[in-house]
């Protein structure tokens, strides 16, 4: 099956995942984490992307970022991937593929999903059983977004800025939200949209993107009673 083209919209955030090949470990020692963290910062500046949330896991990483160039995310991922493979192969005396094919990505509706995706990203280590709370994991943006720690990789999104009138108020509001686990349905939606390259957004946002890019933002409804009112409404016939 042909791969779906990615949705590319400068100025709109995207959730990106890159995994190790066969889910193998890609980060072992502290120096590895610092190396890829540094390259992400260099690439974000070089290719005009703002990173709002991230997590570096032993066998993959997540980024929530906004590109301001049409090819910004692709260039960033190429830059980070190339430099890290060179570093990793030299450090661990290996050759061959490190990454699991191309990165996965979804366009994110900032108004309805930006903060939820940020919490999803930063809670990754909790869901993996590595730590008890997001604040216990050092290689994520949680420290910057919820605790005010210095992190040159993180640039707050305007939706984050709306959480409060002061930096302290924003951090506190963000931390309170982060304490509430995302509903299972929302977790599944974030995963499905990212892995399948669909838009993560409200019906109105998806409709807007379809109009701008002239392509479907969501998969067509499958199964069910094609004569039912719900089905007709879902495909715009009611």
pLDDT of 224 reads: 47
| Tally of domains in the chain | 1
In a domain, 143, yes or no: yes
pLDDT in tens, 66-119: 999 999 999 999 999 999 999 999 999 999 889 998 999 999 999 999 999 999
d(CA 118, CA 225): 37
pLDDT in tens, 44-69: 999 999 999 999 999 999 999 999 99
CATH number (domain holding residue 197)? 3.30.70.1290
In a domain, 3, yes or no: no
**pTM of the model as a whole:** 0.90
Query: What mean pLDDT comes out for the span 127-137?
Result: 97
Q: What percent of the chain has pLDDT over 90?
A: 81
Cβ neighbours for 144, distance < 8 A, ≥ 6 positions apart = 150, 151, 153, 154
Residue 235 reports pLDDT greater than 90: no
In a domain, 122, yes or no: yes
In a domain, 222, yes or no: no
Query: What mean pLDDT comes out for the span 184-213?
Result: 93
Query: What mean pLDDT comes out for the span 146-172?
Result: 97
In a domain, 236, yes or no: no
3-state secondary structure of 14: strand
What distances in angstroms separate CA 202 from CA 10, 110, 155, 205, one per listed residue?
Answer: 19, 10, 24, 5
What is the pLDDT of the chain when averaged over all its residues? 91
d(CA 169, CA 49): 26
Cβ neighbours for 51, distance < 8 A, ≥ 6 positions apart = 40, 44, 63, 64, 65, 141, 153, 154, 155
Question: What's the domain range around 149?
Answer: 14-201
Residue 234 reports pLDDT greater than 50: no
In a domain, 7, yes or no: no
d(CA 124, CA 118): 10
User: Cβ distance 62 to 140 under 8 Å?
Assistant: no
pLDDT of 6 reads: 77
In a domain, 227, yes or no: no
Cβ neighbours for 119, distance < 8 A, ≥ 6 positions apart = 177, 178, 182
pLDDT band at 225 (very low <50, low <70, confident <90, very high): very low
**More confident: 36 or 230:** 36
Which DSSP state fits 158? H
pLDDT of 1 reads: 44
Residue 187 reports pLDDT greater than 70: yes
In a domain, 78, yes or no: yes
């Amino acid at each position: 099956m042909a791969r779906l083209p990615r949705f590319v919209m400068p100025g709109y955030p995207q959730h990106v995942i890159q995994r190790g090949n066969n889910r193998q470990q890609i980060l072992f020692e502290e120096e590895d984490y610092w190396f890829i963290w540094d390259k992400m910062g260099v690439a974000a500046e070089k290719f005009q992307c703002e990173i709002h949330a991230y997590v570096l896991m032993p066998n993959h990483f997540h980024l929530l970022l906004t590109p301001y160039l049409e090819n910004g995310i692709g260039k960033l991922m190429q830059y980070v991937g190339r430099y890290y493979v060179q570093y990793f192969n030299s450090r661990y005396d290996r050759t061959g593929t490190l990454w699991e094919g191309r990165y996965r990505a979804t366009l994110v509706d900032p108004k309805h999903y930006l903060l939820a995706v940020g919490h999803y990203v930063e809670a990754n280590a909790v869901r993996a059983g590595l730590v008890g709370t997001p604040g216990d994991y050092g290689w994520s943006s949680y420290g910057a977004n919820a605790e005010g720690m210095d992190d040159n990789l993180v640039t707050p999104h305007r939706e984050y800025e709306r959480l409060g009138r002061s930096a302290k108020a924003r951090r506190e509001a963000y931390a309170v939200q982060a304490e509430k686990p995302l509903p299972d349905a929302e977790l599944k939606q974030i995963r499905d949209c990212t892995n399948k390259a669909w838009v993560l957004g409200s019906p109105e946002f998806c409709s807007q993107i379809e109009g701008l890019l002239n392509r479907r933002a969501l998969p067509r409804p499958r199964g069910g009673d094609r004569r039912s009112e719900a089905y007709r409404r879902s495909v715009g016939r009611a």
